């Protein structure tokens, strides 16, 4: 079933892209998981809130598997992920798209930015970056000091002989208004980032040839006509880079809604290593999807923890105002979930 859906939607998308269409459906959202491990309770919450927002606004839901990084990708995980979403009743209307099959679009975008004179090869090693830079506030990437921006052609050629370069995007100087990005997140409110001081020239392609998440996500959201992005709070700090890229590549800016993270403890985010809260165990413990979904929805004030409801019943209860009331990160434990 997935295969047919995928083939069909992919062909349709390619046709739209070839005809140079901008997709204009009223609301289109997406769930864009990275298949690096089985979904855990936090991933389910992001998928659920994405789905509820889309369904409550009669929008279209895209499923996009973000399997760009061959190191993170484990082939059976994507199948399991779709099977888990299916079991949960979190249906999608378009896709699955696989980023690993879309690299020509990312290459086009990098070429376009290069033609605009906005990229340069970067030869810095990971340890050089650690030594010379300060971490980006939100995601542990580095504020790049521009080391390779001003290399002379001869220096580039010399370095390229021993090391394949990454590609960086030049951001405007701090006093250039184009480099100050402001937007309002549906849950976390007004945001502002000065790219030059808070991020620096950022990676759009890694030295091993893998396109950067920031680039791929912007190209995909743009080509797929995504109008609403719902995802974990940990990605709020990526928005400024993504909005800047959207402006350069001529894509409209989607509406952003970041949702609280589920934490394994007050100081540690739930991770795919927390096997006691992964889909395998959750499915075994709950037996059916409804009680699990309702339990998770209760964390956001959308239900009582043990209420008898279907996934569809939650659509009418969903509102962003409710999520705003529960926007602090949430600690979950097996005791809460399984009793
Ligand atoms: N693939 C990312 C993740 O699994 C989400 C990307 C996004 O929603 O923009 O964390």
Which atom of ligand 1 is found nearest the CA of 231? 8
187 vs 320: CA distance, rounded Å: 7
The residue whose CA has the least distance to atom 6 of ligand 1 is 32
Share above pLDDT 70 across residues of the chain, in percent, rounded to a whole number: 89
Q: Is the pLDDT score of 111 beyond 60?
A: yes
Domain ranges of the chain: 32-100+261-338, 102-259
Residue 100: its pLDDT value, please?
95
- Cβ-contact 160, 121 below 8 angstroms: yes
Q: Is 131 left (phi over 0), alpha (psi -120 to 50) or beta?
A: alpha
Specify the fold of 102-259.
Rossmann fold (3.40.50)
What integer pLDDT is reported at residue 226 of this predicted model?
98
Distances (CA, A) of 292 to 108, 184, 202, 238, 326: 42, 31, 40, 30, 19
pLDDT of residue 139: 61
Q: Which of 179-188, 260-269, 317-326 has the lowest mean pLDDT?
A: 260-269
The alpha carbon of 109 and the centre of ligand 1 are apart by a number of angstroms equal to 20
- pLDDT tier at 11, thresholds 50, 70, 90: very low
Question: What percentage of residues in the chain have a pLDDT greater than 90?
Answer: 77
Is the confidence at residue 17, as pLDDT, over 50? no
Whether the domain at 32-100+261-338 and the domain at 102-259 fall into the same CATH topology: yes
Round to whole Å and give the CA distance between 250 and 129: 31
**CA triplet 333, 337, 339: central angle to 5 degrees?**
115
Q: Which pLDDT belongs to residue 131?
A: 73
Give mean pLDDT, residues 139-147.
81
Q: Strand pairing partners for 134?
A: 143
Q: Ligand 1 pocket test: pick from 217, 221, 245, 254 the residue with the most ligand atoms within 8 Å of its Cβ.
A: 217
Pocket of ligand 1 (CB under 6 A): 32-34, 66, 217, 231, 235
* Cα of 158 from ligand 1 centre, angstroms: 37
In the β-sheet with 28-31, what is the strand arrangement from edge to edge?
Answer: 94-98, 60-65, 28-31, 228-232, 255-259
Cβ atoms of residues 111 and 104 within 8 Å: no
Q: Residue 186 C-alpha to ligand 1 middle, in angstroms?
A: 17
The third-level CATH classification (topology) of the domain covering 32-100+261-338 is Rossmann fold (3.40.50)
Position 269 confidence tier, pLDDT thresholds 50, 70, 90? confident
Is residue 89's pLDDT more than 60? Answer: yes
Burial of 317 (0-12, 13-18, 19+ CB in 10 A): middle
Q: Which atom of ligand 1 is nearest to the CA of 238?
A: 9
pLDDT at site 72: 72
Look at residue 127 and tell me whether its pLDDT is greater than 90. Answer: no
């Amino acid at each position: 079933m997935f295969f047919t859906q995928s083939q069909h939607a992919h062909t349709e998308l390619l046709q739209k892209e070839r005809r140079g269409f901008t997709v204009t459906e009223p609301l289109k959202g997406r769930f864009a998981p990275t298949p690096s491990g089985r979904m855990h309770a936090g991933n389910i919450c992001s998928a659920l809130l994405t789905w509820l927002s889309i369904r409550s606004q009669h929008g279209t839901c895209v499923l996009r598997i973000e399997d760009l990084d061959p190191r993170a990708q484990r082939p059976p995980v994507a199948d399991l992920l779709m099977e888990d979403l299916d079991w949960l009743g979190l249906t999608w209307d378009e896709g699955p798209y696989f980023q690993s099959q879309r690299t020509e679009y990312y290459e086009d975008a990098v070429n376009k930015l290069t033609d605009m004179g906005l990229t340069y090869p970067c030869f810095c090693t990971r340890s050089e970056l650690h030594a010379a830079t300060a971490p980006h506030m939100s995601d542990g990437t580095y504020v790049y000091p521009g080391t390779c921006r001003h290399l002379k052609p001869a220096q580039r050629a010399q370095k390229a002989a021993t090391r394949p370069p990454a590609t960086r995007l030049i951001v405007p100087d701090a006093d250039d208004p184009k480099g100050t990005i402001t937007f309002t997140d549906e849950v976390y409110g007004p945001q502002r980032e000065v790219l030059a001081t808070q991020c620096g020239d950022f990676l759009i392609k890694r030295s091993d040839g893998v396109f950067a998440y920031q680039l791929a996500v912007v190209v995909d959201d743009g080509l797929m006509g995504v109008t609403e992005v719902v995802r974990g709070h940990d990605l709020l700090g990526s928005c400024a880079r993504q909005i800047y890229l959207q402006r350069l590549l001529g894509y409209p800016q989607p509406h952003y809604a970041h949702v609280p993270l589920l934490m394994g403890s007050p100081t540690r985010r739930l991770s795919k290593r927390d096997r006691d809260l992964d889909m395998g165990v959750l499915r075994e413990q709950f037996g059916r999807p409804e009680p699990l979904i309702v339990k998770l929805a209760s964390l956001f004030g959308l239900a009582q923890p043990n209420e008898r409801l279907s996934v569809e019943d939650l659509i009418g209860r969903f509102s962003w105002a409710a999520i705003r009331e529960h926007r602090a990160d949430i600690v979950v434990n097996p005791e809460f979930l399984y009793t």
